[in-house]
């Protein structure tokens, strides 16, 4: 029997040795999932004591602000460090310019202030993008069918300022306009918000997997034409994702994100190899809906596949994951850190 260090050979090498008991499997495990990796997205709605199911996201509700505070406390009890808040803006407040996004008393700003007052230890992440506020459902301002880049960036800077003043911890530009991270960072510095973190949705693809989210925020699924393809990325592109990330880091992003998650694990790995900033994965609404539906039908064991999918993000190199399964998985794995 010979041992060849460069080319392990059977029977000197039997890879099953290191799989033979739970103890050794745990000891040689290369990556792990912990509760502190999780960011829990939550939907906010107007009203009091409201808990409104979202049919295309079974198990996910829209909550009024009083209930959002309860969820934030629940998250902390489970060891989840951060929540991401998304507003269901009343339709009558939506317009072509997304004006309500800039209202310092809008639903999201009131939610941010309430959560920060009642539950100050939770980290609050807020999207910067106009789609929950526009009647056409696009993330930016339109001239006919064209999404205007620089005009949109100006509006996003104001939206970010409003959110920073309301007291959120992490600004997350999710709109994919060019130059928005730099413009937002410049505003934050000039306004004294020097501690504000930016988690950029840097590599965000034009994806069909966002469908249930658009139901949740009432943004409508039928955008027509090119949809969001003139600003969100082509799912075929890998090199471009790294370019997007490098530019956002250069413009002042502290953390970056890849979205959707599971179909884009290669992109997460590329970004981790190319950069040294924390990179997050967003397991988006469509991914949640697929796993949940298969679980509910008995076609997959939800507990097993969800943990496997989340662990796969860590293996691909992700620092953490935004997931609607956050409380479920947190209960399962516990906060032993």
Active site residues: 204, 259
Tell me if 280 contacts ligand PBG by CB under 6 A: no
Omega before residue 317 within 30° of 0, cis: no
Considering the complex, state which of residue 25 and residue 229 has its C-beta at the smaller distance from ligand PBG. 229
Question: Per residue in 302-313, is it b (16+ CB within 10 Å) or e — as a string?
Answer: beeebbebbbbb
Minimum distance between the CB of residue 38 and ligand PBG, rounded to whole angstroms? 14
Minimum distance between the CB of residue 285 and ligand PBG, rounded to whole angstroms? 3
Tell me if 210 contacts ligand PBG by CB under 6 A: yes
Binding region for ligand PBG (CB under 6 A) out of 24-32, 127-135, 244-252, 298-306: 127-135
Q: What share of the chain is helix, strand, coil (3-state, %, to 5)?
A: 45, 20, 40
Nearest to 107 by CA among 120, 94, 121: 94
Which 3 state secondary structure label does DSSP give 323? strand
Tell me if 139 contacts ligand PBG by CB under 6 A: yes
Minimum distance between the CB of residue 132 and ligand PBG, rounded to whole angstroms? 7
Nearest to 269 by CA among 302, 329, 314: 314
Which member of 284, 289, 318, 321 binds ligand PBG (CB under 6 A)? 284
Considering the complex, state which of residue 118 and residue 302 has its C-beta at the smaller distance from ligand PBG. 302
Tell me if 71 contacts ligand PBG by CB under 6 A: no
Site for ligand PBG in 149-178 (CB under 6 A): 174-175
Minimum distance between the CB of residue 11 and ligand PBG, rounded to whole angstroms? 48
What's the start-to-end Cα distance of the chain, in Å?
Answer: 43
Nearest to 39 by CA among 198, 173, 170: 170
Number of neighbours of residue 331 by Cβ within 10 angstroms: 12
Tell me if 325 contacts ligand PBG by CB under 6 A: no
Minimum distance between the CB of residue 127 and ligand PBG, rounded to whole angstroms? 5
Considering the complex, state which of residue 73 and residue 227 has its C-beta at the smaller distance from ligand PBG. 227
Considering the complex, state which of residue 228 and residue 292 has its C-beta at the smaller distance from ligand PBG. 228
Question: Per residue in 15-44, is it b (16+ CB within 10 Å) or e — as a string?
Answer: eeeeeeeeeeeeeeeeeebebebbbbbbbb
Residues near 193 by beta carbon (within 8 Å), at least 6 away in sequence? 164
Tell me if 100 contacts ligand PBG by CB under 6 A: no
Nearest to 189 by CA among 157, 159, 167, 166: 157
Tell me if 231 contacts ligand PBG by CB under 6 A: no
Tell me if 213 contacts ligand PBG by CB under 6 A: yes
Determine the longest span between alpha carbons in the chain, in angstroms: 78
Considering the complex, state which of residue 100 and residue 139 has its C-beta at the smaller distance from ligand PBG. 139
Cα(131)–Cα(26) distance, integer angstroms: 44
Tell me if 131 contacts ligand PBG by CB under 6 A: yes
Which member of 60, 285, 289, 306 binds ligand PBG (CB under 6 A)? 285
Which 3 state secondary structure label does DSSP give 256? strand
Tell me if 129 contacts ligand PBG by CB under 6 A: yes
Minimum distance between the CB of residue 185 and ligand PBG, rounded to whole angstroms? 19
Tell me if 203 contacts ligand PBG by CB under 6 A: no
Give the footprint of ligand PBG on this chain (CB under 6 A): 127, 129, 131, 139, 174-175, 210, 213-214, 228, 284-285
């Amino acid at each position: 029997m010979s041992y060849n260090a460069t080319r392990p050979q059977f029977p000197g090498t039997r890879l099953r040795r290191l799989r033979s008991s739970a103890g050794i499997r745990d000891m040689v495990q290369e990556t792990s999932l912990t509760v502190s990796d999780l960011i829990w997205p939550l939907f906010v709605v107007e009203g009091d004591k409201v808990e409104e199911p979202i049919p295309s996201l079974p198990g996910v509700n829209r909550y009024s602000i009083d209930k959002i505070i309860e969820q934030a406390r629940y998250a902390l009890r489970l060891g989840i460090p951060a929540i991401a808040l998304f507003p269901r803006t009343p339709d009558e407040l939506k317009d072509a310019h997304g004006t309500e996004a800039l209202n310092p008393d809008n639903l999201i700003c009131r939610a941010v202030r309430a959560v920060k007052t009642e539950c100050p230890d939770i980290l609050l992440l807020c999207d910067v993008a106009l789609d929950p506020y526009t009647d056409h459902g696009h993330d930016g301002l339109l001239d006919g069918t064209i999404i205007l880049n620089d005009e949109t960036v100006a509006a996003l800077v104001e939206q970010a300022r409003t959110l920073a003043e309301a007291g959120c911890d992490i600004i997350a530009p999710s709109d994919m306009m060019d130059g928005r991270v730099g413009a937002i960072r410049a505003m934050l510095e000039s306004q004294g918000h020097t501690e504000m973190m930016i988690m950029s949705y840097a590599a965000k693809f034009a994806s069909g997997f966002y469908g249930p989210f658009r139901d949740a925020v009432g943004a409508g699924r039928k955008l027509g034409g090119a949809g969001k393809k003139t600003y969100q990325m082509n799912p075929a592109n890998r090199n471009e994702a790294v370019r997007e990330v490098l530019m956002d880091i250069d413009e002042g992003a502290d953390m970056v994100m890849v979205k959707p998650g599971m179909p884009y694990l290669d992109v997460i790995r590329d970004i981790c190899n190319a950069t040294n900033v924390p990179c997050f994965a967003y397991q988006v609404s469509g991914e949640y809906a697929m796993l949940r539906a298969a679980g509910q039908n008995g076609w997959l064991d939800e507990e097993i596949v969800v943990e496997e999918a989340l662990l796969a993000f860590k293996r691909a190199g992700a620092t953490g994951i935004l997931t609607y399964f956050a409380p479920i998985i947190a209960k399962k794995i516990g906060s032993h850190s």
